[in-house]
Amino acid sequence: MSVESAKAAIKEFLASPKPEVLCIRGHWGTGKTHNWKAVARAQREIPNGVALNEYAYTSLFGLNSIGELKAQILQNTVVRAQIGDITSFATMNDAIGSAERGAKKAILTGMQGLFGSRTETIVSALGLLTSSQIICIDDLERKGSKLSSGDVLGFISYLREERECKIALLLNDEALEGPDKQQFNAYLEKVMDRNVLFSPTPQESASIAIPGDDEISQLVRERCAELGIDNIRVIAKIHSAVVQIVPFLAAYKADVLRNVVASIVVFGWMNHQPEIAPTLEFLKRHSRLAMSDAENELSPTEMRWAARLDSYGFTHVDDFDLALMDGIADGYFTQERIDLHASELNNRVLQQEATARFQSAWGRLHYSFRSGEEVIVGIAQTFKDEAAFLSAEHLHGVVSLLRSFQMDDLVPSVIEAYISANDGAKGAFDTTRIFLRHEALDEEVENRLDQARLAMKEPRHIDQIFLQLNDQAFSDETLSTLSSAPVEEYVRIFKAYEGDELRAILIGVFQYSRIANASEPMKTIVGKARDALTLLAQESRINTHRAMGWGATIPKKGTEDADEDLAS
* Domains detected in the chain: 3-200 (3.40.50.300), 203-340 (no CATH), 371-455 (no CATH), 462-567 (no CATH)
What is the per-residue pLDDT for 565?
43
What's the distance, CA 94 to chain centroid? 48
Q: How many helices (H) and strands (E) does the chain have?
A: 30, 6
What is the per-residue pLDDT for 342?
62
What's the distance, CA 139 to chain centroid? 27
What is the per-residue pLDDT for 30?
84
Question: Please, what is the Cα angle at 162 between 159 and 168, to 5 degrees?
Answer: 25
Task: Please state, in angstroms and rounded to a whole number, the distance separating the CA atoms of residues 388 and 366.
Answer: 24
Task: Please state, in angstroms and rounded to a whole number, the distance separating the CA atoms of residues 265 and 410.
Answer: 43
What is the per-residue pLDDT for 101?
46
Task: Please state, in angstroms and rounded to a whole number, the distance separating the CA atoms of residues 550 and 454.
Answer: 36
CA nearest to 540, candidates 531, 551, 548, 550? 548
What is the per-residue pLDDT for 436?
80
Task: Please state, in angstroms and rounded to a whole number, the distance separating the CA atoms of residues 150 and 144.
Answer: 13
Q: What is the pLDDT along the chain (568 residues), one digit of tens a residue?
A: 578 888 999 999 999 999 999 999 988 888 899 889 999 999 999 999 999 999 999 999 999 999 899 988 988 889 988 887 765 444 445 544 444 444 444 454 455 455 544 555 555 555 556 789 999 999 999 999 999 999 999 999 999 999 999 999 999 988 888 999 999 988 888 899 999 988 888 998 999 899 999 999 999 999 999 999 989 999 999 999 999 999 988 888 788 888 899 999 999 999 999 988 999 888 877 654 444 444 447 788 888 898 888 889 887 777 788 888 888 988 888 888 888 776 666 777 788 889 899 999 999 999 999 999 999 999 999 999 999 999 999 999 999 999 999 999 999 999 999 999 998 887 888 887 787 877 889 999 999 998 888 787 656 688 889 998 988 888 888 999 999 999 999 999 999 999 989 999 999 999 999 898 889 999 999 999 999 999 999 999 999 999 998 888 776 655 344 444 433 3
What is the per-residue pLDDT for 295?
45
What is the per-residue pLDDT for 284?
77
- Supply the DSSP symbol for 86: P
Q: For 323-377, how does the pLDDT look when each residue is reduced to its tens digit (9 = 90+)?
A: 888 889 888 888 888 887 766 667 777 888 898 999 999 999 999 999 999 999 9
What is the per-residue pLDDT for 9?
93
DSSP per-residue letters across 282-325 = HHHH--HHHHHHSGGGS-HHHHHHHHHHHHHT-----HHHHHHH
In terms of phi and psi (left: phi > 0; alpha: psi -120 to 50; beta: otherwise), the region of 84 is: left
User: Do 538 and 513 touch, CB atoms closer than 8 A?
Assistant: no
Which residues are registered as beta bridge partners of 57? 136
What is the per-residue pLDDT for 86?
62
Which pTM value belongs to this model? 0.53
User: Do 280 and 270 touch, CB atoms closer than 8 A?
Assistant: yes
User: Do 243 and 301 touch, CB atoms closer than 8 A?
Assistant: no
What is the per-residue pLDDT for 292?
41
